[in-house]
Structure 1
């Protein structure tokens, strides 16, 4: 069976990914847009190499969802409020990007591990990130996966001077049953804490928040992965390369 993911293409706004600009020798980051209207389509990939090719070619108005729609495999995606205002007749082939409209496939999918650096600390190297994941989850030692820097990473001036190196990074792990992805995330989280990779952060409101080296908040079937490269302003470029098989 083929690996299935959903590709979201935004029409409004025309940019989903973050925008990075250079002002007075300082990099400024503008968050990605909140999608109001766009299209969705389920894509199937026979191999991880096929998925990698699509991943590296994503445009700045595109993002990935690792769940699949409960209805038609392609159509129009709008906000939940806009969908609720539509008549039943107009709702045909329209969905909202919510868990009411997406589900985990019972076939092959992608378990994405989102590894972000601490706010006040250095990023893990590619080698360290992979080594940690495979040490706490030895079941993945021989599983091929893709490594790819996040859209915040590897920003250069037009003349080649590095302004920012590796920051966030992702591992894309193929799984035989995407319905198990939330359980896999829970298990990886528990093992990370057991191995000493957990930390307590204090929020601005004084709440104690449990954190580890990867983001556990992304494992919902409708959640967007802003996997495309950043939109860059005048004088700077991004050099993320292509997804690497590890």
Structure 2
């Protein structure tokens, strides 16, 4: 069976990914757009290499969803409020980006591990990120996976001077049953804490927040992965390279 993911293409706005600009020798980051309308299509890949080729070719108005739609494999994405206003007999081919409209595939999928750097510390290296995942989950030691820097990483001036190195990074792990992805995330979280990789933060509102080396808030079947490269301003470029099989 093929690995299935959903590719979201935004028509409004025309940019989903971050925009990074250079002002007075300082990098400024503008978050991605909040999609109002676009299209979706389920893509199937026989191999991880095929998925990697698509991943590295994503455009700035595209993002990935690791669930699949409950209805047709392709159609139009609108805001939830607009979908709810549409007569039910006119909704064929339309969905909202909500968990009511998406589900985990009962076949192969992608377990994405989002590894962000701590706010007050250096980012893990590529080898460090891979090692920590395989340390806490030895069953992944022999599992092929993809490594790819985030859209915030590896920003250079046009003449080749590095302004920012590796920041966030992702590991893309193929699984045989995508319905188990939330359970896999829970298990990885528990193992990370048991191995001493957990920490506590206090928010500005006084909330106690548990953290580890990966983001556990992304495991919903409708959640967007802004995996495309950044939209860069005048005088700077991004050099992320291609997704690497590890």
TM-score of the superposed pair, with normalisation by structure 2? 0.99
User: What is the CA deviation profile of residues 118-156 of structure 1, one whole-angstrom value per residue up to 9, with x for unaligned ones?
Assistant: 011100000000000001100000000000000000000
**How many residues were matched structurally?**
246
- 1:204 shift after superposition: 0.7
Q: Name 1:32's counterpart in structure 2.
A: 32
CA deviation after TM superposition for structure 1 residue 90, in Å: 2.8
Aligned to 2:88, the other structure's residue is in SS state: coil
In the alignment, is residue 64 of structure 1 matched against residue 60 of structure 2? Answer: no
C-alpha distance in structure 2 between counterparts of 1:140 and 1:112, whole Å: 13
TM-score (norm 1): 0.99
**Alpha-carbon displacement from aligned partner over 1:171-211 (angstroms, at most 9, x marks no partner):** 00000000000000000000000000000001010111000
Aligned mates of 1:86, 1:158 — CA distance in 2: 48
1:161-200 correspondence to structure 2 within 5 Å? 161-200=161-200
Unaligned runs of 5+ in 1: none
Corresponding position of 1:101 = 101
Q: Which residue of 2 aligns with 1:121?
A: 121
Using the TM superposition, give the Cα deviation of residue 89 of structure 1 relative to its aligned residue in structure 2, in angstroms: 3.4
Shift of 1:92: 1.6
Coordinate RMSD, CA, aligned: 0.5
Tell me, yes or no, if structure 1 residue 88 matches structure 2 residue 63: no
The alignment partner of 2:105 has SS state of coil
User: What stretches of structure 2 of length at least 5 have no aligned partner?
Assistant: none
Moved more, 90-99 or 40-49: 90-99
Q: Which residue number corresponds to residue 147 of structure 1? A: 147
Stretches of 4+ aligned residues off by more than 6 angstroms = none
Secondary structure at the residue paired with 2:217? helix
Q: In structure 2, how many angstroms separate the alpha carbons of the residues matched to 1:139 and 1:213?
A: 18
